[in-house]
A and B are shown apart, each in its own frame.
Chain A
């Protein structure tokens, strides 16, 4: 109790304001301390992760970050690889487009699709029934020689395997279908070349005339060939890979 009293009395006396130069100095120092304290607490709260970290901690943080950036860089690389593969796939799409283009060409040749284009219409009037299967075949060959790309005879699309046969009695059998005169041929190709090819001396028109029939050629801006064939998949023949290209 004897020590208690002087300590409290001294505290009370110290809390009593009495201004002197050193008291002001002490106050100033305490002000600086308080300011620093608040600043540090604030800074610590604001960026506690880096500001308070020492060098080795920062090195550790940096290490972690660089590891992470390495991982991300690897990810970028793999994504770029994927992108390159996808771009190659775009070239694959080009191949598909090319294949489609060729398929449509082959479809025209195989007669599986209706076609349209410039060409001629050839009507063979045969009142005496003099026109034979071989004459029609010759006509078709002549037209093919002249660059005919698609031919329709009557209601039959002429393709590579088309055959002609004299029917018993009147008419001609084309690919199993019996046709009667007048025979009407729709041909797509260069109209001028086609009609010239038919008109050459000793050609189709002349032989038709000498046989007693008559061919009438009309050049047309647009010929529509609507007859189609079902695509027959070959039973024996198989395409070879390089042969496929060389023959093109």
Chain B
């Protein structure tokens, strides 16, 4: 419940304040968000399956975003930043999809 409220408040804040993304963060923010979304979907799935653990969620959330940003950063340093970004997005996208499928199965049994 608090998570949903937090998400809503965050979106509202972002829409109202409309802050500029600092330059150093620009390449990493979208990837970090996708990673965080993956963590969020994983958390929803775990909740539905009764194995949700706040500590695991916090750690996976932070680790996901940091690792995703790190991979992109490393890719930028190696000159394959755009390819690695694509790779990370693909992997995270697949995970989000599979999590969403599991949520769907849990909720609707279909």
Contact = CB atoms under 8 A, between A and B. Distances in A.
Consensus secondary structure, chain A interface: helix
Interface residues of B, number: 48
B4 A11 contact: no
Contacts of B30: 40, 44, 52
A19 B6 CA distance: 13
A74 B33 CA distance: 46
Interface in B34-64: 36-37, 40, 43, 47-50, 52, 54-55, 57-58, 61-62
Contacts of B36: 29, 32-33, 36
Interface string A21-63: 0111111111111111111111110000001101111000000
10 contacts: A7-B49, A10-B48, A26-B54, A31-B10, A34-B10, A39-B14, A39-B18, A40-B30, A43-B29, A55-B82
Contact of B7 (A4, A17, A31, A43): A31
Contact of B13 (A14, A35, A57): A35
Given A11-B47, A30-B6, A34-B10, 19 more contacts: A7-B48, A14-B47, A14-B52, A16-B1, A17-B1, A23-B54, A25-B54, A26-B43, A27-B2, A33-B36, A35-B11, A36-B10, A38-B15, A39-B18, A42-B14, A42-B15, A43-B29, A51-B26, A56-B82
